[in-house]
Structure 1
């Protein structure tokens, strides 16, 4: 299995589509290098982005991100359906997060004796939950095309499963560390919510966790670190713009470079990662082999090069896994497509999952009026949807199409509009 990992792309509205964009050449070189590396290593099974896709949470920044990720996927030979994202602090619209009412909720959480209890209380309150997540509305609109959008209280993390070489499951968990982010962020003052501390171990499942803020930025870092070290052999963070690889007995922890860092910051070092995963050994001696290719930018001459681990161009580590026998009773594939919380879809329905992902990407690209017309004509909208954000309303349209066995009908309707637009 191959995972391509990016972080902190920081598409800035004032730069994109201009000749003064300081990172145009760098992004082009990253795509060229990724194409070359993937031609050697294989097509990525997932492209994961650990936050800060945008710079100020502006819709145009997310639109540019969609177009650029499309280019990257084409270069690597994979579908946009392979993209998996989590939000970062730059994906927050700060003038929404800095409002007095929102800051009151933030301060209540920060000053609580038990932050986990307070976070649960605030996320379960409809008004408080809406205020906490409103600043992530543009991010959610973008993330919905990948079924990575978030909605409290039940969908505050995202999950996706990939099949490893021995038939077991790599389960990607995307955590949100930006729901208390604003213009007042300070190191050690951010949080993950209690759902992030309930990642479960299952036979035949290997957990990999992706979140934006490094542990050093989280108030509940000790609790999260202890939990992840128990349950997640692969841990991926962004935000700090510094590439580090920690290889410990039970886990590998990656802290990422920024794909588009600020050129004025100290230690400016753009980069991205390619992570190979393989399960070796028999049922009673299974090990997870992790091989990380850390690609960093060098100047004069310019180009992405391998970060060296002493004399090796890769960082390699093996982790002992629990015993597991592959049988007809395979682990179930989890997905984050259900309305309010992850549900289980059997492995045999994997083709349906792929159809839903691909259709979701195509549906996302239609205009609001086109989506609304299709949803209304197929009677996939309910009265209860009218008070929801657009991204959640149309997510439910896709889920209902799946539940009512109307995916093919919905696909035909989308195809008709696409054909009309081409003509």
Structure 2
């Protein structure tokens, strides 16, 4: 059975003006209804997650992310996904340009005048890094709740692994291509840098990497090196930004393919024949016949005459949207033993090239840090992930601190500066100490108090 993901990109919450406020609100609701219908007709009838390839917000402000969170919750509920099952990366509109300091501007100019060497020199300095990452403050809080934290060392981030069959998994690798954005960058004169500390992604036997990033390859100064690592270590590269949906399959060498998938804009500033409202539903499955990865696209586009989403037969595979990718890291692992297939109704669609009936499972497996130290594992408690999302996304800083204080999470005489990382460790400690129910109760209480006070 396939792992099904709804893929949105360039939603731009907060860009609406005039009558577009109402038009865009309607489009977002129609997308939810359309995704619910399409997903219900795919084998299994529910999705496994949501992918967001940047530009969630228009100007990186918290109010925009509050609206985005409500919409993502509603989308998740309608496609059968728990609200925390989201993988996201930042786009150039997810940074708050008003938070760029004078020193930060000098740093950006220095790197743009140079290249990867200057980029690495800056990222080796924690103070200089902080000046660049300060612009992602609100995005960072939002993504942290979804367990998609920005890596403040400038390396790739990765937590979610999806098991498609015994010994066959895909792993989502998240890049931040927007760290050097300033508003005037253009692809004809690339100024952005991914950096070696980020594009050197792992090889793992039995696991194929799916890279999520906002900008396509042609926007990077170091695009040649990034391309080499993507072609040799990733199986799918999913980007956004250009609002132009397209897909290509590159045969790197015998037994090794890479799929380059560019998303359209879910909510462009205006909709016309060139740039219309689009999103995708993607099925990932083990291709049992070829021991590869089967990727089935369901591209959806807005029909302005019918004012609804419908199948897009022009792009991203058209009438034949199934791609079967040769996977070297699958073939390095022992082949899964044959499994009996589960009886399916006669009219249930089955992904081409796969008859293996194992239900995909998702594991959160943190990668090592830049210093080579494994990240701590999350507690395995029912309801933990949703509580973590609500704690970081839905509570104000003072409310989070109140929970930590009242539930005795803060060590006596501690002088460690409060940070998201420390809050996460203390939150996890409360859960491990059996206080998850108390945390959830206090979250509801504090949100309720705030709403009552606003009336």
Q: Do the two structures share a fold, i.e. TM-score over 0.5?
A: yes
Following superposition, the deviation at residue 13 of structure 1 comes to 6.1
Q: Which residue of 1 aligns with 2:258?
A: 251
Write the deviation string for residues 343-385 of structure 1: whole angstroms up to 9, x where unpaired.
3678xx8x81875422211322233333112222444446464
Q: Which residue of 1 aligns with 2:233?
A: 231
Q: Which residue of 1 aligns with 2:366?
A: 335
Q: Pick closer, same or farther for the CA change 1:419–1:319 going to 2, 3 Å.
A: same
Following superposition, the deviation at residue 247 of structure 1 comes to 1.9
Alignment of 1:277-356 (within 5 A): 277-281=284-288, 285-308=290-313, 313-322=319-328, 323=331, 324-325=333-334, 334-335=365-366, 343=374, 352=380, 355-356=383-384
Following superposition, the deviation at residue 272 of structure 1 comes to 0.6
Q: Which residue of 2 aligns with 1:23?
A: 24
Q: Given the alignment of the two structures, is residue 70 of structure 1 paired with residue 76 of structure 2, yes or no?
A: no
Q: Which residue of 1 aligns with 2:399?
A: 370
**SS at the partner of 1:48?**
strand
Q: Pick closer, same or farther for the CA change 1:339–1:377 going to 2, 3 Å.
A: farther
Q: Pick closer, same or farther for the CA change 1:19–1:337 going to 2, 3 Å.
A: farther
Q: Pick closer, same or farther for the CA change 1:421–1:85 going to 2, 3 Å.
A: closer
Following superposition, the deviation at residue 387 of structure 1 comes to 5.5
Q: Is the 8 A contact 1:338 1:399 kept in 2?
A: no
**SS at the partner of 1:132?**
helix
Following superposition, the deviation at residue 121 of structure 1 comes to 2.2
Q: Is the 8 A contact 1:161 1:335 kept in 2?
A: no
Write the deviation string for residues 39-97 of structure 1: whole angstroms up to 9, x where unpaired.
11232212010000000111100100000101111111111111111100001111223
In the alignment, the residues of structure 2 paired with residue 92 and residue 416 of structure 1 have an alpha-carbon distance, to the nearest angstrom, of: 31
Following superposition, the deviation at residue 129 of structure 1 comes to 0.7
Q: Pick closer, same or farther for the CA change 1:327–1:247 going to 2, 3 Å.
A: closer
Q: Which residue of 2 aligns with 1:361?
A: 389
Q: Which residue of 2 aligns with 1:201?
A: 203
Q: Please report the TM-score for the alignment, with normalisation by the length of structure 1.
A: 0.86
Which deviates the most, 138-147 or 38-47? 38-47
Q: Is the 8 A contact 2:54 2:89 kept in 1?
A: yes
Write the deviation string for residues 382-422 of structure 1: whole angstroms up to 9, x where unpaired.
6464254xx444333334446xx33x314423324425766
| RMSD value, Cα | 3.2
Q: Pick closer, same or farther for the CA change 1:81–1:271 going to 2, 3 Å.
A: same
Structure 1 residues not aligned, in runs of 5+: none
Q: Pick closer, same or farther for the CA change 1:152–1:355 going to 2, 3 Å.
A: same
Structure 2 residues not aligned, in runs of 5+: 252-256, 338-360, 450-455
Q: Given the alignment of the two structures, is residue 54 of structure 1 paired with residue 57 of structure 2, yes or no?
A: yes
Structure ranking higher in helix proportion: 1
Q: Pick closer, same or farther for the CA change 1:398–1:417 going to 2, 3 Å.
A: closer
Write the deviation string for residues 161-214 of structure 1: whole angstroms up to 9, x where unpaired.
122134422110110001111233232111213232211111111110000011
Q: Please report the TM-score for the alignment, with normalisation by the length of structure 2.
A: 0.81
